Amino acid sequence: MRVTVFDYGAGNLHSLIKTLARDGAQVEIQTDPARAARTDVLVLPGVGAFGHAAARMAPGLADMRSALRDGLPCLGICLGMQLLFDASDEGEGNGLGILPGRAKRLEGGRVPQIGWNTIEEGDDPLLRAAPLATAYYANSYVCRPSDESCVRAWSSHGDTRFPALVRAARIVGVQFHPEKSSTPGVELVRAFLREAEQ
């Protein structure tokens, strides 16, 4: 299985690539968004700022959006999850618009949120395959879907509740970093790849 990580040019992807390659998947890094869409599984990593990432994605946005709508499995992590939505208050540019809504600044406590947080009300095949009670976060923005039926798990920051995991068919977004969430997080990524193979 060929897994392509779309690189926005914003940071170290080593731990993510190591996690994805764990079961023998062929992992490649791609900076061309149109080429990134021609793969078996697309991963949108969680490092960077929305405006910069949207600008890097813009030349191949239509190709990527079309591939996702045609059934390409995708895992969006942190910023990658936010790129699945229409837009973000963090910066200019368009997201993929797979899920209606936008990313808004996190409220309810110290920002950025960095560290472990509880996963609440998790109801998704991935969370059943890899039960995740807590996960590692590093974020200042969270997704606000227009329709919350896409939300499969929640977390809270102070008194602010926000989506921890969203899904649209074979497209999954997680606000946390599974690759940094110890063994249960790694297991969640492996469960996603097994699901993508079916």
Q: Which of 143, 150, 179, 187 is catalytic?
A: 179
**Separation between Cα atoms, residue 110 and residue 113, nearest integer Å:** 6
- What is each CA distance from 96 to 3, 61, 109, in whole angstroms? 19, 7, 29
Please pick, among 78, 143, 150, 157, the residue that the annotation labels catalytic: 78
Distance CA 84, CA 18 (A): 23
Q: Is 78 a catalytic residue?
A: yes
Tokens representing residue 128 in the block: 């059943």
The catalytic position among 143, 157, 177, 187 is 177
Alpha-carbon distance of 118 to 104, in angstroms, equals 20
Residue 177 annotated as catalytic: yes
Tell me which residue of 98, 41, 52, 107 sits closest to 74, measured CA to CA: 41
* DSSP-assigned states of every residue in 68-95: HHTT--EEEETHHHHTTSSEETTBSS--
Active site residues: 78, 177, 179
